[in-house]
Amino acid sequence: MKEIDLYTKAHLVVAAIRILERQADASSSIEKVCQMISFSLEHGNLICKKLDEMGIIEIVKGAYGTRLFIKNHLKIEEIPRGAGESKLEEELKKFKSSKKGL
């Protein structure tokens, strides 16, 4: 399966929130969003936290669980497109290159 970038994942999450709100006429949970777009719960939490930090969605924790709300979907367009390397991958490359020198 091809790895998708954060821009595409953000669109998927926002679309799933909208669909679930329309179907249930209520706010959606992270579990339902992850189930709809076939993400693991851990991966979905990570993506939702990033989107919350960027101001795209809002995560509200309450007595009935964690709910997701769309805050500003236009900020998705500020996310760079394309799969960029993560900090971990960059550090692994540095480590491997230093080991080759030994």
Q: For residues 80 and 101, what is the distance between their CA atoms, to the nearest angstrom?
A: 34
Bridge partners of 62?
A: 65
The Cα-based distances of 75 to 7, 8, 54 in angstroms read 10, 13, 8
Averaged pLDDT, groups of 10, the chain, 102 residues long? 81 95 87 93 92 94 89 91 64 78 67
- The confidence score (pLDDT) of residue 87 equals 61
pTM attached to this predicted model: 0.76
